[in-house]
Structure 1
């Protein structure tokens, strides 16, 4: 399927403008930009308004760059040896300057900028006349999904953030909300979005959220709160319900991480990146719409190399052979590591291994299949949610509901593509033990999903960061967790500048 990407709207920054002054002599229209009063009049305005929310995916604070440092490198899958010491410190729980732009403020700013744009759509589009009511409803549903998505990740990162649900004004001092209140709003937005969004879009609109995407994110939201029955009800749609026909695993595992088979049947929601504009990042009509992850996660001499993978994952892949006695093929396409060429015949961007023997790098989403170096303009879409993740989530939910035996089938679907024996045949010791199944599922998710920005949420959901004893087990794999303070580092500090400027905000516990 072709991909759709979302260029910026010319003059969009002016949508932050406030109402005109009551004094006519001061009511002078700016001829170089568009104000709120001039915009939000037509169906085209509404469409451009919601497209502007998608354009936030191309900003540095989110999925263009820094989100991967928070979700992948801060987890036990990755780390940083960046010569930029403060950047590395923010992957190893050594937060000194809470206003560090690249580690905290940039992501906060871009999240709330995206939320602001969603709020504008939700505030102004209802008053626009549409020839087709369904089109109007779907624009509003997209805005709800996207607002929920940003708050979902804000909850994972900072937890106690303000819920801003109306277009902001410069003098606003929003109230701080609890994590439970943030999750409640995410649930509301996704439930309402799922009721309206279609099961699929036509090719020109590939990349917009579907009903399945909304219910998948809703299911994940419930899972983070251990609302297992509600999570099952949401995920039923994709796995056993009416949405079942839209989703399946693609035969070639690697197709989930290149630009060669994007928006395929395994994709539940993916961000559309493009290398069309080889320009600087920003909010202009010709700004970069590429993904920077590849440049920052590439091995030394190929990219900036600020993010690396933990080598323990290589060993985990090698613990179990396939049905025909070979190595798990997922290892080949998940990681660069010292024995990659010996094990699979693959070089690293055309090079034999020249890095330390105990080093590893994330291979997913890298462009070694078409380049010998990386840059800031990767057009490889990022799969935020894919169906393999949902199958493993569904298995986890069933297990937590006491339906362990039924959960095996959904893990086996993922293992079958990897040419592994059934879980029961490979690990008969699990039986119907909920605890043993949960522990094994942690490994199954790691093997299938490593480097896909889900591990931080997994560690939080499993309670692996809730006690010193549990954290010590994580630290055995990732020594950065020796710095982890229980009850504190489970969440990021709020940007200090936000706390100082808003008397309604209180810094997160422990900071």
Structure 2
């Protein structure tokens, strides 16, 4: 498995080097520089590994980015003594909050490293690296940069677009790009990635042969379709998603039979996964909160301790009662509860056999509470003596999302009847009855609401809900906003523009070319 625990640490250190005044330029003979590093095949492969490594930090997928995305939806809310964890979900996060800075910092770390790979590996000759390997490495860098810009766009709305390593100090203060420029960069990067990447690494020639977890053609194609859908480019999105059903990606992905296998440390990189971030519960003794890794660095997922049950973890966040109730709207074909409910939420219910938590009897004093189960390692025999125990990979994009996004795209293109079978694949895995039978002949508007319901159940606590709410325009629809307020009290403090996180105040203070966004109030 492609875990990247033992990456070339000197590569990452080199990637952080930047120019200083001439009088301070002192060469360390024991440390690589950009001028001497990019010369071998091994260095090219290690360089792209360092880009993946930046996805495992606090501001990317280790903790803060997923949790602050989840908490802004109506499926989860902050419940922590750390006040900013609540304010993020209440759309009132101050501009000087560390969390908004961490997300910004670590996503630009991904971009900075990807830019170096794209430029320097691109300059290597075929005497050093085969053309096939070169394109594969550069394709991965394009995908990871496109993913980083996608995350920045949905989090901050407008940010600087940087596509080359800084040449000198004049490049240290990039200006804010327009939304159009930013999204066009996302599209361009993902198109370039899709063109260059293999379907899998089973037969490639190089040290990455057979490795799981690397970006693939399917990952790039799917994320590009998701980006088009976010921008309401339905024709372009339909063409992307169609590749998974009638094109070159047909049959490559499928739903795994057990929904919960998508959120445990077993069965990772499975048939449903288009892309996931690789974490490990074993390794060094130093937490990978951010920055340069050392020989003792450990790539653990911190969501188990952030999301875990009171008394077993920090329980900084909890699921809303609304999403709990939403799962109970419909029974399975064998008259059982939707299996996604106990996979997503930890709750006490003797009639349903839910009487233990983390391997012991459910505590009497909190039996009325509900907690997050998805991504928490509960039920996997993992102790919580220390917080750094999460080896669970974070699933960024699943085939279930492709199915429901394709259905949504078809509906928006007035092909509503064609959407049913793609939705039903997701429902059938949950053993729900045939939608075409229980709700036949839905109108376009009715199907929109149905898809919203299906997506809420399939992707609760996966960083999806606030993205959907924003792109559907619900916050600016009085009826939908009233509904969101009923789902989650946090929406009572939402004000226009604050659906995004604010640009970090420290960045605004240090860069006169950077503009505030709608949340900087």
Shorter-chain TM-score: what band? over 0.9
User: 2:501 is matched with which residue?
Assistant: 492
Matched, 1:289 2:292: no
Deviates more, 1:259-268 or 1:462-471: 462-471
Contact map agreement 1:16 1:36 (CA 8 A) in 2: no
Rounded to whole Å, the distance in 2 between the matches of 1:19 and 1:491 is 33
Change (3 A) 1:183 1:504: same
For residues 16 and 373 of structure 1, do their structure 2 counterparts lie closer, same or farther at Cα, with a shift above 3 Å needed? closer
Aligned to 1:397: 409
Within a 5 Å distance, the mapping from 1:388-427 to structure 2 comes to 388-427=400-439
**2:238 is aligned with 1:239:** no
Question: In structure 2, the residue corresponding to 1:499 is in which secondary structure?
Answer: helix
List aligned pairs for 1:318-329, cutoff 5 A. 318-329=328-339
Give the match for residue 111 of structure 1.
107
How far apart are 1:152 and its partner, in Å? 0.2
Q: Please state if 1:9 is matched with 2:8.
A: yes
- TM-score, normalised relative to structure 1: 0.94
- Aligned: 1:63 with 2:75: no
Query: What is the aligned partner in structure 1 of residue 482 from structure 2?
Result: 472
Please report how far the alpha carbon of residue 465 of structure 1 lies from its aligned counterpart in structure 2 after TM superposition: 1.8
- Report the CA distance between 1:48 and its aligned residue: 0.9
Where does the alignment leave 5 or more consecutive residues of structure 1 unmatched?
none
SS in 2 for 1:308: strand
C-alpha root-mean-square deviation of aligned residues, in Å? 1.9
Which range moved further: 282-291 or 64-73?
Answer: 282-291
Counterpart CA distance in 1 for 2:380 and 2:518 is 46
Match status 1:219 vs 2:225: yes
Q: How does 1:285-364 map to 2 (within 5 A)?
A: 285-339=295-349, 341-345=350-354, 347-350=356-359, 351-354=361-364, 356=366, 359-364=369-374
Whether the 8 Å contact between 1:41 and 1:128 is mirrored in structure 2 is yes
Residue 75 of structure 1 corresponds to: 73
Q: CA offset at residue 497 of structure 1?
A: 1.3
Q: 1:28 to 1:5 in 2, by over 3 A?
A: closer
**SS across alignment from 2:396:** strand
- Report the CA distance shift for 1:465/1:58 in structure 2 as closer, same or farther (over 3 A): same
Stretch of structure 1 that moved more, 3-12 or 176-185: 3-12
Contact kept in structure 1, 2:276 and 2:394, CA below 8 Å: yes
Deviations along 1:180-230, whole A, 9 cap, x unmatched? 211110000100110111111237421011111001000000001100010
Distance in 2, matches of 1:449 and 1:495, equals 29
The structure 1 segments of at least 4 consecutive aligned residues displaced by more than 6 Å after TM superposition are 20-23
* 1:355-391 CA-partner distances (Å, limit 9, x unpaired): 6465322211221222364332311111111111110
Q: Secondary structure at the match of 1:465?
A: helix
SS of 1:238's equivalent in the other structure is coil
User: 1:100 aligned to 97, 100, 122, which one?
Assistant: 97
Structure 2: distance between partners of 1:94 and 1:355? 32
- CA distances 1:80-126 after superposition (whole Å, capped 9, x unpaired): 11011233212211223x1211x200110011111000000111111
Structure 2 stretches of 5 or more lacking a match? Answer: 203-208
CA distance in 2, matches of 1:199, 1:15: 28
- For 2:130 and 2:9, locate their aligned partners in 1 and report how far apart those are by CA, in whole Å: 26
> TM-score scaled by structure 2?
0.92
Contact kept? 2:159, 2:176, Cα under 8 Å: yes
Deviations 1:336-370 (A, max 9, x none): 1232x432445221232546465322211221222
3-state SS of 2:59 partner: coil
Q: 1:242 to 1:85 in 2, by over 3 A?
A: same
Aligned length: 502
Superposed, 1:346-385 pairs within 5 Å as: 347-350=356-359, 351-354=361-364, 356=366, 359-371=369-381, 373-374=383-384, 375-385=387-397
